[in-house]
Structure 1
Amino acid sequence: MESEEPSSAARILLLAAVALVGLNLRPFITGIGPLAADISAQTGLDLKGISLLTLVPMLLMGIFAFAGPFLQNRIGARRSVIAALVVLTLGSFLRLFASSGWQMVGTAALLGLGVAVVQAVFPGIVKQQFPRHVGVVMGLYSATLMGGGALGAQAAPLIAAAAADWHVGLAWLAVPAALALWLAIRCLPRDGGTRQGTTSTTALLKWPRVWLLMACFGLVNGGYSTVVAWLAPFYQEHGWSAAASGSLLAIMAVCQALAALFLPVLAARGEDRRPWLWLTLAMQAAGFAALTFWPEAAPLASAMLLGAGLGGCFALSMIVALDHLADPVEAGALSALMQGGGFLITALPPWIVAVLHDLTGSFHAGWLMHLACAIVVAVLYWRVSPGSYANAMNPGNTGVAHQPCQQKCAIETPL
């Protein structure tokens, strides 16, 4: 791939590809919650079984994110994304025929694999093709990713009701996945020559900063995976219908998308992303506190706070990882590793919350757990200042000469 920014026409098409690919990375997960009762009735999955439909994809997102440097260097980012979109299209289509619990978990695994590959290599594509607009374009990618979550939550119960079949409510997602595949084939830049040895995953994993970024990313997105799995069932326990609880989840996802789009633009005006990260964590804490103590007082406000906090924090976390290194391939490798370890953490909370629900009879313990996680991440991010990037990325005795991103890399100009 070329390191210079594409022409205006190519850039518009590439931005469209970024948006449509992002749109397909979450709706297969968010569509489950509103339809959980119907899926459980037919497949026999209990709460812990339903949680696997979130846990398994997130687990695969974590495991295969570690393959990001290999995929980018040996196979190529473009070919990896195209293959992943084929898998996403197939996985969604197969849900039309899933009638048992293991079949649903199998399609979840297939979809998680496709998303894992995209997430592992896509940030590197963005940094390489838009080197002066990383924050803005990553904001667009994150916003459409969250917007896809809104699409799944809102459309799944409506389409299922219209078709009188929950299978259709999930399988229709093969259509936007196929459209993304077509656009990716047409618009993604061709893969250049392979780059051997520029990035050492083993070397990166020796740096404490990588583990800190993993922990922050995982704890925050654990809140997301729990919310998309259990927010709708939580309010259904309070008497809400599947459509109404799905709408609440969709509103939350819309707020995620808006925050993911606009907060990176605001954060780009300064070098330090932490004040904005702390703002998003405060919103998460307020949202989880409201779900715990006042669930019926202002459910819409709680969902909006959670959405803005989770979406903004996701986008800013991705940008902070890319800020650490100037080289696009190395920055992409760091982002992939952060997502790898992070999603391994992210996979567990929906299952933990299901266990806590079985033990206590409610979701309140789960919401409290995520309130505590937001506070922990706020403390951890104190260490992630721009002035610390050079020391954090100092290779020491690893033998790999990585160049930290200079401060000018952290400030983007408008598109």
Structure 2
Amino acid sequence: MADRYDGDTVRTASRETKPRGDTMTAMSPRMALLVAVGLVLAAFNLRPAISGLGPLLEEVRAALAMSPTVAGLLTSAPALCFAVFGALTPRLSRRWGPTAVLVAGMAAITLGVALRPLAGSTGVFLLTSALALAGIAVSNGLMPVIVKRFFPDRVGTMTGLYSTGLALGTSGAAALTVPLTDALGGGWRTGLAIWAVPGALAVACWMTVVVRGRAAPGGPAAAATPADGPPVRITRSPTAWALAVFFGLQSTGAYVTMGWMAQIYRDAGLSATTAGTLVAVAMGMGVPLAFVLPKLAARFSHQGPLITVLGLCGVASYIGLMTAPAAGAWAWALLLGIANCAFPVVLTLIGLRARTGTGVSQLSAFVQSTGYLLCIPGPLLVGVLYGSTGGWHAPLMFMTVLALAQVAVGIVAGRDRVIEDGG
């Protein structure tokens, strides 16, 4: 029988499920706090390498002689890397343990972000970006796993916590990259390099978790043991496929926002600083909503109505950007920010649609790798449409259709099912 979720507590019709493996009660309060802080720091570093590039994309294109099509490829690169490297996450986690793999992921992000500004050609820029994106891909897949293993009775709360950290990193990089670049008196290279600093902090925090966990029996290091539960035939699950398609469609919207929204506003006559601020507003909506929506989603037996509201906000924003991009700039940014909060909702669904640690690990890897693979053409096609038509009407019409499709498949993904029961 499918699990029922009352708040953050997992229940079945006959009994309350006792969490297995590491839980918050198996850790000292200090270690639990350290893991929680580590979740926020790790999540903070999952988007600045992407959202910090948008406000400076025009300068990077000019310096490295990028065409709009190549720039579209650059905005599609995150999805490609997430699909390829994200699929490796379960195997790496089983071999080395989730905390150790997360340390490696954070290190790859930090190194890639630090090296990227040194690039003198488009090829080197793409390669160093790929290093950072590989680290993000592995870390993306581990976040739901770590939450389920360390805090299985607080899935909604802890998903909301790290989703808030992710939103802060996304919006902070979008809003602060240009002002910090100006304050430091540097160019686009300085603006991109500064985001290696929070990455170094995340590495230090998770190294501490690994070291202390090994020194304390029953502590977080025990999470490196194999996940509980038998493997699931994930590709036969309709829920897994619905979640993957939903994830891919919402990811397309998110990466188009991060990669192209600033350019839409700049083409409408707004300054680079204002465009970056508007992107930050859109991304910043995730700060309060990313904490509230996962807990709200966990309380519903069917998340379809919530998903519908978020999708329709995206439709309204795209139509507004087509008709009055400058006049209604702030309203469209707010609506698009609400729409992009489908991301913390789908992360919550990954935790809710599997009962065991093994199931969550498999579902997280499948949904994210498949979803990111599906979203690869979106940002690239937006760049091609923009370059071929010289305007934003066709790209935004395309995004409107995708938003409506996202609502349809999200309703299926929101059904009360678990993959272990064949759902």
Q: Fold conserved (TM > 0.5)? A: yes
- Residue 84 of structure 1, aligned match among 69, 84, 105: 105
Q: CA deviation at 1:78?
A: 0.9
1:172 equivalent to 2:194? Answer: yes
The residue type equivalent to 1:177 in the other structure is: G
Q: How does 1:235-246 map to 2 (within 5 A)?
A: 235-246=265-276
The CA deviation string for residues 81-136 of structure 1, in whole angstroms up to 9 with x for no partner, is 00111111111110231121111111110111000110122211101111111011
SS in structure 1 of the partner of residue 300 of structure 2: coil
- Residue 125 of structure 2, aligned match among 104, 118, 129: 104
Q: Are the equivalent residues in 2 in contact too, given 1:259–1:309 (CA < 8 A)?
A: no
Name the structure 1 match of 2:203: 181
1:119 equivalent to 2:119? Answer: no
Percent identical residues: 29
Relative to structure 1, the CA distance from residue 196 to residue 275 in structure 2 (aligned partners, 3 Å threshold; closer, same or farther) is: closer
Q: CA deviation at 1:27?
A: 0.8
Count of aligned pairs between the two proteins:
392
Q: Are the equivalent residues in 2 in contact too, given 1:291–1:302 (CA < 8 A)?
A: yes
Q: How does 1:349-368 map to 2 (within 5 A)?
A: 349-368=378-397
Alignment RMSD (CA, Å): 2.0
Q: Aligned partners of 2:127 and 2:303: how far apart in 1? A: 39
Q: Aligned partners of 1:21 and 1:241: how far apart in 2? A: 32
Q: How does 1:195-344 map to 2 (within 5 A)?
A: 195=226, 200=231, 203-311=233-341, 313-344=342-373
The CA deviation string for residues 200-248 of structure 1, in whole angstroms up to 9 with x for no partner, is 47x2122232221111110111011011111111111122221111111
The residue type equivalent to 2:221 in the other structure is: R
Q: Are the equivalent residues in 2 in contact too, given 1:222–1:346 (CA < 8 A)?
A: yes
Name the structure 1 match of 2:376: 347
Q: Are the equivalent residues in 1 in contact too, given 2:93–2:224 (CA < 8 A)?
A: no
Name the structure 2 match of 1:408: none
Q: Aligned partners of 1:307 and 1:317: how far apart in 2? A: 15
Q: Aligned partners of 1:193 and 1:48: how far apart in 2? A: 43
- Residue 190 of structure 1, aligned match among 209, 213, 221: 221
1:3 equivalent to 2:34? Answer: no
Farther-moved stretch of structure 1 (55-64 vs 154-163): 154-163
Q: Aligned partners of 1:199 and 1:51: how far apart in 2? A: 41
Q: Are the equivalent residues in 1 in contact too, given 2:99–2:209 (CA < 8 A)?
A: no
Q: CA deviation at 1:44?
A: 0.6
The residue type equivalent to 2:374 in the other structure is: I
Q: Are the equivalent residues in 1 in contact too, given 2:170–2:280 (CA < 8 A)?
A: yes
1:24 equivalent to 2:53? Answer: no
Q: Aligned partners of 1:107 and 1:230: how far apart in 2? A: 21
Q: Aligned partners of 2:71 and 2:412: how far apart in 1? A: 37
Return 5+ residue gaps in structure 1 as ranges: 396-403, 405-415
Q: Aligned partners of 1:316 and 1:323: how far apart in 2? A: 10
Q: Aligned partners of 2:110 and 2:100: how far apart in 1? A: 16
The residue type equivalent to 2:375 in the other structure is: T
SS in structure 1 of the partner of residue 236 of structure 2: coil
Q: Are the equivalent residues in 2 in contact too, given 1:233–1:245 (CA < 8 A)?
A: yes
Relative to structure 1, the CA distance from residue 332 to residue 235 in structure 2 (aligned partners, 3 Å threshold; closer, same or farther) is: same
Q: CA deviation at 1:326?
A: 1.3
Q: Aligned partners of 1:28 and 1:88: how far apart in 2? A: 8
Name the structure 2 match of 1:411: none
Q: Are the equivalent residues in 2 in contact too, given 1:52–1:105 (CA < 8 A)?
A: no
The CA deviation string for residues 350-387 of structure 1, in whole angstroms up to 9 with x for no partner, is 11001001221112211111211121121223323544
The CA deviation string for residues 265-312 of structure 1, in whole angstroms up to 9 with x for no partner, is 23333332222222211211111121122212311111111111212x
SS in structure 2 of the partner of residue 205 of structure 1: helix
Relative to structure 1, the CA distance from residue 165 to residue 296 in structure 2 (aligned partners, 3 Å threshold; closer, same or farther) is: closer
Q: Aligned partners of 1:84 and 1:175: how far apart in 2? A: 15
SS in structure 1 of the partner of residue 285 of structure 2: helix
Q: Are the equivalent residues in 2 in contact too, given 1:68–1:333 (CA < 8 A)?
A: no
Q: CA deviation at 1:253?
A: 0.8
